[in-house]
Every structure is written in C-alpha cells, then in structure tokens.
Chain A
Amino acid sequence: MSPTDDLGRWSDELASDPASLVFLRLGEALRRQGELVLALKVALRGLERHPNHPGAQALVARIAADRAAVASAGAAPDRESASQPIEAKPAAPSMRIAVAGPLNIHRGLGHATTIPPAVSGGSVQTTSTVGSAVFLEPETDPPVPEAGRRFPTSDGAQALLIDDQGLVLAGSHRSAGGYDVGQELAARLAGVSEEARRAAQHLKLGAWRSLIIETDRAVVALAPVGDSAVTVVTGLRSMPLGMLRRVLRRCERWATDWTGATS
C-alpha cells in the first residue's frame, strides 16, 4: 500500500471517528512529507480531543520544531505560512498555546489556542534550540489545580472526576497501552451512575453512596460528589475491595474540596 493510500485511509478513519487516535499517524506522516501546516492542523485537532495524550503533545512539538527549523533556514516552500501561527478551537479555558516560528513569536495575542493545564502546568516550553517554537502561558484566570496529579490514589489505582454529562472534570485514566482513555470511560460510566441514583431512589434506599463493580480484569468504584459529579476510581483486579473503597473515600473527599474550590 502506498503512503498516499495510507494518508487517504487514515483521513477517512479520522473523518468517520474524530476521536480516533489515528490522527497521530496521519499527523506524523504529513510531517515527514513536509506538509507542516496540514500536519499541525491535524495534530492540534487531535490534541483538543486528547489533551493529556503524550503522543499528541510530542507530535505538536515535533511539527512546531520542524516549522521553526524550516523558517530559520529560509528553505521552506511555504515559508510564509510556516511563520504564521495556526489557530484552533479552544478546548479548555485555562491555558493558551501559540505556535510560531522563531521570527514570529506571539505571546498569546490573537494567535492562540487553549489547552488544559495538564499539558504544561503553565510554564513556558521551548521545543527547539532555534527559538521558542511552542510556548504556553496562563490566561488572566488562575489555572485550576491539576487534579490528575493530586488525586490521593494508591496501589496503582487511577481516579477521574466526571460531570453529569459524562465529561472529565479532573484526573485521567490510562489504558494498558499508555493512552488516556478517561474521556471514553467517563462517557460510558456517567449513565451507570444515573441509573444507580434512580434505582436507590425508587427502591426507597435513600441516597446512593457508592457503586462498586468487579469485572474479570478490573475493579471500579463510583461515588457521587455533590449533585452533579461522580468520582471514579479504577484498579487492577488484584486490588483488594476494601482498599479500593478506602481510596474511593479519599478521592471523594478530595474531589468535594476541589469542586468547592473551583466552583
């Protein structure tokens, strides 16, 4: 199969499933072909959907470094466009990222897209020795705490805080392959927590406090946080249920404080 066929196939795959991680392959292939503007667009769109994905962050950095190097050497066939920052739709309101060549550095003024704080923690990042190809800076609002790092998990457990729409508020969940699948997990489990609430209410059991699920591979625990959020803790099947419950309670308390601090 030719590289062009691959590009077409990956492009079709991405069109049919915008959440697919195939943008990594597509972006990398375009970068290698020198289609840096297109590659950056693909990578930034992917980063909007998978803001904590290390591969996506690395891809954006590689492309930006390439653009910087090309613009610096003056050899780019699309030199003008290489020095133009790319705009993308905002994904989260807390941080800004600007992509520019060394001759065209904009500190977040009109050429910025936003990404969540987990990507940078608000620091300036330099990805190329040629110049500041990618830099990040906080907006005027203070960044929210980085929950993924602060959830008081232990024993290899992972924690997420999700809202009633099935969106991740904080935390992350990495698959065995290292991919952040928190968003998918949140979307799937939001319906379960709603069902648990309804069942407890209709059966006159009062408010639900937790739901523990055992599967053949994992243990999952959910607990409500306020009226509209749910803490999800996942652990390996080998994790004792008592420990899972303790971690859940710790995370629930932390999430209650955190949502109070950020509301």
Chain B
Amino acid sequence: MSADYADVLECLARNRGVRGSLIVSQTDGLVIDANLRIGQRGDHLAAFAATVYRRTRAAAGAADLGTACFLQLDAQNGYICAAGSGDLVIVVVTDPGVNVGLLRAELLRAAKSLR
C-alpha cells in the first residue's frame, strides 16, 4: 500500500514547480506519506492543509453546496492544492508560476486512484 502512495506522490512531484506532495489523514491531519524537498517539514503543512480542507468540506456541506472534492489556495508565494479521497487528502505545495490546470487534473486523477 505504501508503495502505491509513493508512486502517486512521485508522479505529482514530477510536475514543474511542485515543492512537495503529501498524503494526509483528513481527520487528524497526520502525514501518511510524503515526497518533500530536503529540509522541508511536512507536519505543519499536513496539519494546516488538512484543517483547511476539512473546514471547507464542512462549510460547503452545511451551506448546501455539495461535497468538496478539490481546493486551491492561491497565495503570494505559491499555491496549496488539495484533493480528497475518503479520509485521505492529497496535498501539493507549489511555486507561484505553476500550471494549475495541469496540476488539478493530476491531483484529481491521483485522488481517484486512491479509492
């Protein structure tokens, strides 16, 4: 199973501008597997990404907007993108100039492959 996760993360990491990718548990925000640049800490990223995803999912559901499946946080120095698959969330952190459309497609495909 861990090899599957590693393959998924490796595939995402091949995209230009990707700084790191993680598979995180949505409920507790803990890292399940990660592919990060040297020196990068995944635990903070995992915790924050899981929290944003969880809150977004809850808010969308409560506001009758449906079930959230993808989110993209655009910040001054990069993006955080996340796609959910059951309790798992695949999170990717990127540089600012990344091709978000391509990354989104890859993320959604990766999330589907984890089901």
B63 at the A interface (CB under 8 A) = yes
A189 to B55: give the CA distance in the assembly, Å: 9
Report which of A196, A206, A215 forms a contact with B69, defined as CB distance below 8 A: A215
Q: Is the interface of A mostly helix, strand, loop or mixed?
A: mixed
| Contact status A202-B48, CB under 8 Å | yes
Which positions 188-216 of chain A face chain B at CB distance < 8 Å?
Answer: 188-189, 191-192, 195-196, 198-200, 202-216
| Contact status A220-B60, CB under 8 Å | yes
| Contact status B51-A199, CB under 8 Å | yes
Closest residue of B by beta carbon distance from A202: B48
Which positions 55-80 of chain A face chain B at CB distance < 8 Å?
Answer: none
Report which of B63, B67, B78, B93 forms a contact with A216, defined as CB distance below 8 A: B67
A18, chain B: closest CB distance, angstroms: 18
A241 to B71: give the CA distance in the assembly, Å: 11
Which positions 43-69 of chain B face chain A at CB distance < 8 Å?
Answer: 44-45, 48-49, 51-52, 55-56, 58-60, 62-69
A200 to B73: give the CA distance in the assembly, Å: 8
B90, chain A: closest CB distance, angstroms: 14
Report which of B48, B75, B93 forms a contact with A207, defined as CB distance below 8 A: B75
Report which of B59, B74, B77 forms a contact with A210, defined as CB distance below 8 A: B74
Report which of B70, B72, B77 forms a contact with A205, defined as CB distance below 8 A: B77
Residues on B facing A (Cβ under 8 Å): 44-45, 48-49, 51-52, 55-56, 58-60, 62-78, 80, 93, 101, 104
Closest 6 CB pairs of A and B: A206-B76, A217-B66, A215-B66, A205-B75, A199-B48, A188-B59
